[in-house]
Structure 1
Amino acid sequence: MTGEHPVTRSLRLLWHGLPPARKGPRPSLTLDQIVRAAIAIADAEGLDALSMRALARELNVGTMSLYRYVQDKAELMHLVLDHVTVRTVEDGTPATDWRTMLETISQDARQMYLAHPWLLQVNWSSPVLGPGSVGDLERTLSSLTELPFSDRERIMLVTLLDAYVTGSVRQEVLFDQASALTDLTYEEFWELQLPFLEAAMESGRFPTMAAMSEDSFSGGWEETFELGLTLLLDGVEREVARRESASHASPPND
Structure 2
Amino acid sequence: MSQKRTGIDPARSLNLLWGSQTVPGRSGLTIKSIVTAGMEIADTDGIEELSMRKVAERLGVGTMSLYTYVPGKTELLDLMHDSAYDRLYESASEPAEQGEDWRQALRFIAEKNWELYWEHPWILDLSGRRPVLGPHTTLKYEIELRALEGIGLSDIEMDATLSLVLMHVESCARLKTAMKANQRMTEMDENEWWLAHAPVLERLIDPSQFPLASRVGEAAGQANQGPHNPEHAYSFGLERIMDGIGILIRKA
Of the three residues 160, 166, 176, the one matched with 1:172 is 176
Q: Spell out, residue by residue over 1:189-235, the C-alpha distance to the aligned partner (whole angstroms, 9 max, x if none).
A: 33442332121455532223443547332385334312221121122
For 2:136 and 2:213, locate their aligned partners in 1 and report how far apart those are by CA, in whole Å. Answer: 47
For 2:66 and 2:155, locate their aligned partners in 1 and report how far apart those are by CA, in whole Å. Answer: 42
Moved more, 131-140 or 95-104: 95-104
- Mapped contact 2:172–2:231 kept (Cα < 8 A): no
For 2:71 and 2:38, locate their aligned partners in 1 and report how far apart those are by CA, in whole Å. Answer: 14
Matched, 1:225 2:234: yes
Unpaired stretches in structure 1, ≥5 consecutive residues: 244-254
Corresponding residue number in structure 2 for 1:199: 203
For 2:107 and 2:130, locate their aligned partners in 1 and report how far apart those are by CA, in whole Å. Answer: 25
Question: How do 1:177-192 and structure 2 match up within 5 A?
Answer: 177-184=181-188, 186-192=190-196
Corresponding residue number in structure 1 for 2:53: 53
Matched, 1:7 2:21: no
Q: Percent identity?
A: 30
Which structure is larger by alpha-carbon Rg, 1 or 2?
1
C-alpha RMSD of the superposition: 2.5
Count of residues in Structure 1 that have an aligned counterpart in Structure 2? 237
For 2:241 and 2:18, locate their aligned partners in 1 and report how far apart those are by CA, in whole Å. Answer: 35
- Mapped contact 2:27–2:61 kept (Cα < 8 A): no
Matched, 1:29 2:36: no
For 1:223 and 1:196, locate their aligned partners in 2 and report how far apart those are by CA, in whole Å. Answer: 26
Cα displacement (A) at 1:147: 2.1
Taking structure 2 as the reference length, the TM-score comes to 0.83
Q: Spell out, residue by residue over 1:28-87, the C-alpha distance to the aligned partner (whole angstroms, 9 max, x if none).
A: 122222212111111111111100000001111111112221111011111111111232
- Mapped contact 2:168–2:234 kept (Cα < 8 A): no
- Mapped contact 2:114–2:169 kept (Cα < 8 A): yes
- Structure 1 segments, 4+ long, off by >4 Å, are 183-188
Corresponding residue number in structure 1 for 2:223: 216
For 1:50 and 1:134, locate their aligned partners in 2 and report how far apart those are by CA, in whole Å. Answer: 25
- Mapped contact 2:41–2:49 kept (Cα < 8 A): yes
